[in-house]
């Protein structure tokens, strides 16, 4: 049984915007799944439909074997949602927010309080339990939403950009927490702006663009599709122009830095030999972008002719 199945999911908003044009997607149980796409591609609409916040126009959603149309209550019991925007009452206390959410799932108060303590402790918010939610920092508010989404112990957890605006240290600790949840057997679906996050955490990935799934595969296979990788090389001595290296595309970023596009067919050894022959000494090197990000940009660029001009940037 799959954790989530979408069949020919469509959504046309009242203003005529066709946000989803027939999405087919299967997420297996236990997966750590990334759903990526540029802004306006249809990610949030898809998540909105799955979490019952948006009415679909057509198609079928099945959550752990329960149809969202025919067995809505059972389907909803199985999922927890961490939305992109803060959506709790800012004036309520942290503990009350989590306990109240448990109540919405019919969990009796003693068990709700026990679960609230468990997840607030796990997410480092127990000391803040008596604070009003509005007094929390951005990172704490994100963790509060995760605690709230887990209080009914769902089998499928959907996180819409859970680490947006969170500092690096906290992001890493949230990654560890999510990996722990996945190791316990929970299926996790994640959307994120940080492609490094998707590459680090997720085993499978789907890319959605213009309301359609344009890629749906495991992370390893996807990364193998990356034909060209771009590296930044810091040179020991400044140069006036970029060297000509057959088989490589080289640009001079500034006097001490080269940007080199390396095709998958070429080895890095060849690059360094060619540079050494022309007396270029390389002190350090790094990827210009995360590999997934590079691939993502290329995939999305393939759709450029029909791209929405209002779209801001890749996510």
Closer residue to another protein, CB minimum distance, 160 or 199 = 160
The token pair that represents 105 in the structure block: 């799932």
CA distance linking residue 177 with residue 123, whole number of Å = 8
Q: How many CA atoms lie within 13 A of 195 on its CB side?
A: 20
Q: Give the nearest distance from C-beta 89 to another protein in angstroms.
A: 5
CA distance linking residue 157 with residue 142, whole number of Å = 14
Q: Give the nearest distance from C-beta 201 to another protein in angstroms.
A: 23
Strand order in the sheet with 257-263: 249-254, 257-263, 228-235, 282-287
Cα–chain center distance at 190? 4
Q: Give the nearest distance from C-beta 229 to another protein in angstroms.
A: 40
87 binds another protein (CB under 8 A): yes
63 binds another protein (CB under 8 A): no
185 binds another protein (CB under 8 A): no
CA distance linking residue 293 with residue 193, whole number of Å = 10
Number of residues binding to another protein, judged by CB under 8 A? 34
Of 68, 79, 94, 292, the one binding another protein (CB under 8 A) is 79
Contact 143, 125 (CB under 8 A): yes
Q: Give the nearest distance from C-beta 310 to another protein in angstroms.
A: 18
Q: Give the nearest distance from C-beta 55 to another protein in angstroms.
A: 5
Positions touching another protein (CB under 8 A) are: 13, 45, 48, 51-55, 72-74, 76-77, 79, 81, 83, 85-91, 96, 100-101, 103-109, 148
């Amino acid at each position: 049984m799959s954790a989530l199945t979408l069949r020919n999911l469509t959504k046309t908003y009242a203003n005529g915007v066709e946000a989803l044009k027939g999405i087919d997607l299967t997420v297996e149980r236990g997966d750590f799944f990334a759903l990526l796409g540029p802004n306006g591609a249809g990610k949030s609409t898809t998540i909105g439909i799955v979490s019952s916040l948006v009415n679909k126009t057509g198609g079928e959603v099945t959550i752990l074997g329960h149809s969202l149309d025919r067995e809505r209550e059972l389907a909803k019991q199985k999922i927890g949602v961490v939305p992109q925007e803060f959506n709790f009452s800012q004036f309520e206390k942290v503990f009350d927010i989590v306990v109240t959410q448990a109540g919405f799932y019919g969990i009796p108060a003693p068990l709700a309080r026990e679960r609230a303590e468990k997840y607030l402790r796990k997410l480092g918010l127990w000391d803040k339990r008596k604070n009003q939610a509005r007094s929390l920092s951005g990172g704490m508010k994100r963790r509060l939403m995760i605690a709230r989404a887990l209080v009914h112990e769902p089998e499928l957890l959907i996180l819409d950009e859970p680490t947006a605006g969170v500092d690096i240290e906290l992001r890493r600790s949230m990654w560890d927490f999510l990996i722990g949840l996945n190791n316990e057997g929970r299926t996790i679906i994640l959307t994120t702006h940080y492609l490094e996050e998707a590459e680090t955490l997720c085993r499978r990935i789907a890319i959605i663009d213009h309301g359609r799934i344009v890629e749906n595969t495991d992370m390893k296979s996807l990364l193998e599709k990356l034909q060209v990788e771009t590296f930044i090389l810091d040179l020991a001595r400044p140069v006036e122009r970029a060297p000509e290296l057959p088989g490589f595309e080289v640009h001079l970023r500034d006097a001490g830095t080269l940007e080199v596009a390396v095709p998958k067919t070429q080895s890095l050894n060849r690059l360094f030999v060619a540079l050494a022959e022309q007396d270029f000494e390389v002190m350090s090197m790094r990827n210009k972008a995360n590999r997934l990000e590079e691939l993502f940009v290329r995939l999305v660029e393939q759709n450029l002719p029909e791209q929405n001009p209002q779209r801001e940037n890749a996510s």
